[in-house]
Amino acid sequence: MNRTLLLILTVLSFAFTSCENMQVDADAMPVTLEIFVKDTEGNNLLDYGWLDGKNVTATFKGETYDLQKDVPTRAYMPHFYGFKVTGRDLGTMLYFGELDGTHDMNDEFVINWGDGTFDTIVIYNDCRTTMNGGYDIKRHYVVNGVKTENHRITITKETVAPSEPKFPTLEIKGASLNTHTANIFEPVHFYLEGDNYMNWSLSQLCDSLVFSVMGEEGSRKVYYDEKGHSELIVGWDHYFYLPQSCLCRIRAYKDNEVIYTDAIEVNLTNDNDFLIYDWDEISDAAIGSITYNNFIEPQYSIVTSASWKGQRPYAKVAVEKPESLDDVRAWLYEYMMKLYKDPVYSESAAVKTKYAELFVSAQEDETPLYIWKDNKSVVALVEQYDEFVPVTRVYVKAEPVK
Amino acid at residue number 243 = P
Mean pLDDT of 63-87: 70
Percent of the chain beyond pLDDT 70? 86
Give the bridge partners for 291, in sequence order. Answer: 303
More confident residue, 215 or 71: 215
pLDDT of residue 49: 75
Cα separation of the two ends of the chain: 128
Look at the pTM and tell me if it is higher than 0.85. no
Residues 188-217: pLDDT tens digits?
999 998 866 664 568 888 899 999 998 888
pLDDT of residue 70: 54
Least trusted range by pLDDT, from 253-262, 320-329, 352-361, 373-382: 320-329
**Are 93 and 46 a contacting pair, CB within 8 Å?**
yes
Give the bridge partners for 39, in sequence order. Answer: 157
pLDDT at 91 over 80: yes
Least trusted range by pLDDT, from 142-146, 176-180, 220-224, 357-361: 176-180
pLDDT of residue 235: 93
| Nearest-angstrom CA–CA distance, 337 and 340 | 5
pLDDT at 104 over 50: yes
pLDDT of residue 148: 94
259 pLDDT band, cuts 50/70/90, is very high
Amino acid at residue number 194 = G
Average pLDDT, the chain: 84
| Nearest-angstrom CA–CA distance, 309 and 311 | 6
pLDDT of residue 387: 84
* Residues 6 or more apart whose Cβ sits within 8 Å of residue 23: none
